[in-house]
Amino acid sequence: MNVFLALTFSGVALGAIYFLAASGLSLIYGLMDILNFAHGLFMTLGAYVAWDVATHLPASWGAPLLFVIALVASVLGGALAAGLTEVVIIRPLYGRPIGQILVTIGLDLAVVGLLLGGFGSNSLSVPVPLWLIEASHVGGLSLPNSDFVALIAGVVVLVSLELFLRRTRYGITIRAGVENRDMVSALGINVGRAFTLVFVIGGAMAGLAGLLYAVVFSGDLISPTQGDSLLIFAFIVVVIGGLGSIRGSAVAALVVGLVQDYANFYLGSHPGMAEIGNLSVVLLLALVLEWRPRGLFGSTL
């Protein structure tokens, strides 16, 4: 039973990371009707900015402070990358979905290629405090502290997004702009600025997801292609939860994380079953699409 409970907690933590990665995608699609294939790039850049900042600050500041600064840097790095992408690349292509898809894919391939050329294919180590790689004992269970960090981050982001969209002036403006952009613009409200804010928020969450995934599940290592790998699961979560549904993404991320962890542990040790966790997630996606094509929560925010 202890093994099952520990495995469940690990799956929930993985689900929290998937939610951080998917929430930005879901937000951008639900409010702007844009499938952003450069979202994985924001995750990668957020992690690299965090690494660069943490490794160039004085070690005498201490690992805990450096890690907090790295977390902030990952958020700002992802936000900046997303904001520039929306203003320079996406904004001229509004109303042209094929162009948006092609240009975001091209941007991702180009920048990942630059990262491979500049840093090589070898992974880089992110400095983390000792307590983050240790475990806490809860009711007889030994649970990694990094999993607690991932879970807390996921909950904070979910609550913050809900409050932002439903309780703040900008959130209400964004939702209204989606329904009738011309009417909102006629009232003197800059909808374009609000949409840029959506991209910035999505990029910030992506940057955070990129760093936390490296810390929690990749042995504190980052690589140029890690964002693209995480993007695949982010898209699966968004589709299962329902395109544009933040709550749906949260539920779907939890289910995907648990299914993947359970399958890897209970079935992955058998010969030829090393990738059973990933296969199980794909089968789950197929079942949901067959049973409920719009996803678990439809397409509403």
Nearest to 230 by CA among 77, 18, 10, 31: 18
Query: Which is more confident, 29 or 207?
Result: 207
Q: Return the C-alpha torsion angle 48, 199, 232, 20, nearest 10.
A: 70
The total of structural domains in the chain comes to 1
The answer to whether position 4 is within a domain reads no
Burial bucket for residue 23 (CB in 10 Å: 0-12, 13-18, 19+)? buried
What's the rounded Cα separation, in Å, for the pair 31 and 245?
A: 10
Query: 22 in a domain, yes or no?
Result: yes
Longest alpha-carbon distance in the chain: 64
Q: Binning pLDDT at 50, 70 and 90, where does residue 300 land?
A: very low
Taking residue 260's Cβ as centre, other Cβ atoms within 10 Å add up to 24
CA dist list (Å): 155 to 19, 67, 244, 247, 254: 9, 20, 18, 11, 12
Task: Locate 54 and state its tokens.
Answer: 């943490």
Q: Which domain holds residue 29?
A: 16-225
Bin 256: left if φ > 0, else alpha if -120 < ψ < 50, else beta.
alpha
Q: How many angstroms separate the CA atoms of 231 and 112, rounded? A: 13
Assigned domain for 238 exists: no
Distance CA 106, CA 110 (A): 6
If you average pLDDT over residues 42-51, what whole number do you get? 94
Whether 284 is in a domain gets the answer: no
Q: What amino acid is encoded at 161 in this protein?
A: L
Residue 271 lies in a domain: no
Mean pLDDT along residues 129-135: 85
Q: Is residue 290 included in any domain, yes or no? A: no
Question: What letter represents residue 71's amino acid?
Answer: L
Residue 187 clears pLDDT 70, i.e. is over it: no
Higher pLDDT: 108 or 62? It is 108
Pairing of strands 141-144, 124-125: unpaired
The pLDDT mean for the chain works out to 85
CA distances from 98 to 2, 29, 106, 281 (A): 49, 14, 12, 27
Q: How confident is the model at residue 128 (pLDDT cuts 50, 70, 90)?
A: confident
Quick check: 130 pLDDT over 90?
no
Beta partners for residue 142, in sequence order: 137
User: Does 23 reside within a domain?
Assistant: yes
